[in-house]
Amino acid sequence: MGLFDQIAGAIANPNQQASTDQLGNILGMVQQLSSSQGIDPSTSQTMMSMVGGYVRSALQQKQAAGGTAEAENIVNQFSGLGANPAAVQALFSPDQQTQVANAISQRTGISSQQVMSLLALAVPIVLKMLQSGANTQGNPGSNNVLSTFLDSDNDGDVDIGDAIGMAGRFLQSR
């Protein structure tokens, strides 16, 4: 089951945190990020996809080192809809932040300095989307959205940018 399918399932499940309002807020922040920075939506989706890929890799490393609870703690602690440099620091060393910014810059044409500042907004948004699968009862290890995102079979079938695009279409159809 794909990432967006898990998010849609979480919206339908009263025991998970996801809601259409939450999804709408996430999409609104992505759109606001694009418009306030003068980034076209296609470039923004590419950037979010890349940020999602780097977040996925970092969370997989955290999971390997400290178990699923470690990854869930990061998601729960640093998810949000505002700038949070601590979220970036929790996942990436300063050298990794530079590498991420340079890679995104090369692919999108956004300056690496601008990408560095956008990471403080984009990373918490990605984490907020992942938090949508968290259990409302706080049961650790039950976040299906995070589990799908971490994609334990490593088939590469997970893309935050695509999930954001699908979320937009999902909300428009309601």
Q: What is the pLDDT along the chain (174 residues), one digit of tens a residue?
A: 578 888 888 999 988 889 999 989 999 999 998 899 999 989 999 999 999 999 999 999 999 999 888 999 999 999 999 999 999 999 999 999 999 999 999 999 999 999 999 999 999 999 999 999 988 887 777 788 898 888 655 555 567 777 777 777 777 777
For residue 162, what pLDDT is reported? 72
For residue 122, what pLDDT is reported? 96
**Number of CB atoms found within 10 A of residue 58's CB:** 20
For residue 149, what pLDDT is reported? 86
For residue 89, what pLDDT is reported? 98
For residue 174, what pLDDT is reported? 72
